[in-house]
Structure 1
């Protein structure tokens, strides 16, 4: 910008003022600057400009897996809202690795972010480090509650799982529950929600346990299905999976074992999930599930964060739970 000022003969403060708000300089000066931009091919370093401000417009986002469709959809909505409000979203993935998550947090400090939106890994996270960030910088936690004083936005697992258990019991046999690895509070809440809902129906819950902490849910559902389906050693021909990715793997295993999935035949296996994964409607048959409200989770996270940054206002209720919606397809 200093060099551009020299070659154009326009003062650096005026040029800086133009790039912050073109309408803030006189029309004739604006025309001179824009003509010089074309002539010299000048492009300002917006990152450097942002870092030089007293308050940056950088918003840091950390998610466990950027390629996971749930996180990808949330991040997409957050990025759009940030852009509309004049903020720059910087997305970092922890890749299921606690050390990478800790490094991502350090990176946010170095970027002088105005605020952060984080989905922690869960039990393997360093909660003290995340809470320290939240005390230093406006921060909203989403998806995985850390059971502290943090500001949180996420799905009401007890409402959503209860909704699904009620539907499955009304429409056929009660569901067994294919658990997910106990990697975070979502895993524990969904299992507990299933147990409560079954007991509320006067039924004994039946949990199919898992013995891994991996995030490869499709593979886990597939392997579990290959073991379970030949013997069908289950009290009911209905399986509610803790998430859709498990259910997608289970349906693949059923196809391989020649087990019919869906409604109608008494011998068919009914399969249901949770989340409304973008691929859930394309399984064969389409997956009955509970949809998480991606837009509401993203919108609440961003709105809460902007209020904290711009108004210095902490929400009266730090925890926002969003209800799920039942999506009926042919699998159950």
Structure 2
């Protein structure tokens, strides 16, 4: 297409083989891209004799007061609660939140980000799916739009990450369970979507070994976000096989624990800490439903309020500064032990 008139930046991106976000960064500030990339762009500009519409570029740089908030699933009370807290904080600062749920789908997650791009948001708060996310496309989006990740981290992507200190919180509940009864086995998904699950697995193993106990993993088959169903199915298998080395099970998250509690009830097992109880069950997150299970669920709370407010504050700081921070920041909040009737 050399010698052919290039009409816009999209066509130039196609013929040059350089992504649209990278070209936007270059035209906004040539020094914001690597020297080798800058040389490629300058060579392509000369080859295709393309002159960008600087008025359009400047128009594209004019930001709205919109801030996108993308979570894996707005129907999940956990994400609904944290999204509501973020929404309230954003409104207080004079911006307009745009809430979107990805329904556990990586395709929908990228579609949400692209839809937000068309709104010219001042910034985006993203709780990514994690392992299932299209990391390359999310990274490309983050290069073009100020983005702060929360809940689930993807290394080196986005301006910052705000979440929970899984090492501290899992260590806290493992210590409690070992002090008050038999050391726990750990119920998790074999191939979890959320990267927090891997961190919790490693934290459990480390905490058990530190206390002189042998870790035992119970790995459930299944993928996606139907955690209660997976916990129930694996719970029924565990109950049927009767091969647990301990009467205590720590679940990777509260939703798995809720499924396990249901399986125990179906099997006629009594869960709790009183005389005559067959099983102790604990979880992680302090999911909004965990205080209404039967028995009520012992767990570790995530600081929803602090995570939500810090995420929004970091993004607003970035928007006001009008330039990226010198380095990517990570902020982790410690969990709090919630002792209830299940363990």
Q: Same fold (TM over 0.5)?
A: yes
* Structure 2 residue 302 is the aligned partner of structure 1 residue 282: no
Q: Could you list the per-position Cα deviations for residues 228-274 of structure 1 after superposition, in whole angstroms to 9, with x for gaps in the alignment?
A: 11332100000000000011111111111100000023652000000
1:53, distance to aligned residue in structure 2 (A): 9.9
Native 8 Å contact 2:271 2:277 kept in 1: no
Matched ranges for 1:157-172 at <5 A? 157-172=166-181
1:124, distance to aligned residue in structure 2 (A): 1.4
Aligned length: 282
* Structure 2 residue 330 is the aligned partner of structure 1 residue 319: yes
The residue number in structure 2 matching 1:29 is none
Native 8 Å contact 1:237 1:267 kept in 2: no
Native 8 Å contact 1:226 1:254 kept in 2: yes
1:316, distance to aligned residue in structure 2 (A): 5.7
What SS class does the counterpart of residue 312 from structure 2 fall into? helix
Q: Could you list the per-position Cα deviations for residues 154-184 of structure 1 after superposition, in whole angstroms to 9, with x for gaps in the alignment?
A: 1111100000000000000000000134212
What is the alpha-carbon root mean square deviation over aligned residues?
1.7
* Structure 2 residue 339 is the aligned partner of structure 1 residue 328: yes
Matched ranges for 1:173-212 at <5 A? 173-180=182-189, 181-212=191-222
What SS class does the counterpart of residue 102 from structure 1 fall into? helix
The residue number in structure 2 matching 1:15 is none
The residue number in structure 2 matching 1:90 is 98
Native 8 Å contact 1:304 1:315 kept in 2: no
The residue number in structure 2 matching 1:238 is 248
2-structure distance, mates of 1:264, 1:317: 48
1-structure distance, mates of 2:275, 2:262: 19
2-structure distance, mates of 1:241, 1:105: 32
What SS class does the counterpart of residue 229 from structure 1 fall into? helix
Matched ranges for 1:100-115 at <5 A? 100-115=108-123
Native 8 Å contact 1:307 1:314 kept in 2: no
Alpha-carbon spacing, 1:235–1:93, altered in 2? closer, same or farther (3 Å): same
Native 8 Å contact 2:285 2:301 kept in 1: yes
2-structure distance, mates of 1:183, 1:280: 21
Q: Could you list the per-position Cα deviations for residues 108-159 of structure 1 after superposition, in whole angstroms to 9, with x for gaps in the alignment?
A: 1101100000011111111121112222111100111112253101111110
Matched ranges for 1:55-94 at <5 A? 55-94=63-102
* Structure 2 residue 139 is the aligned partner of structure 1 residue 131: yes
* Structure 2 residue 309 is the aligned partner of structure 1 residue 299: yes
**Which ranges in structure 1 are unaligned for 5 or more consecutive residues?**
1-50
The residue number in structure 2 matching 1:43 is none
1-structure distance, mates of 2:274, 2:332: 35
1-structure distance, mates of 2:240, 2:86: 44
What SS class does the counterpart of residue 168 from structure 2 fall into? helix
Q: How does the TM-score come out when normalised to structure 1? A: 0.82
Q: Could you list the per-position Cα deviations for residues 186-218 of structure 1 after superposition, in whole angstroms to 9, with x for gaps in the alignment?
A: 111111111111111111100001222221000
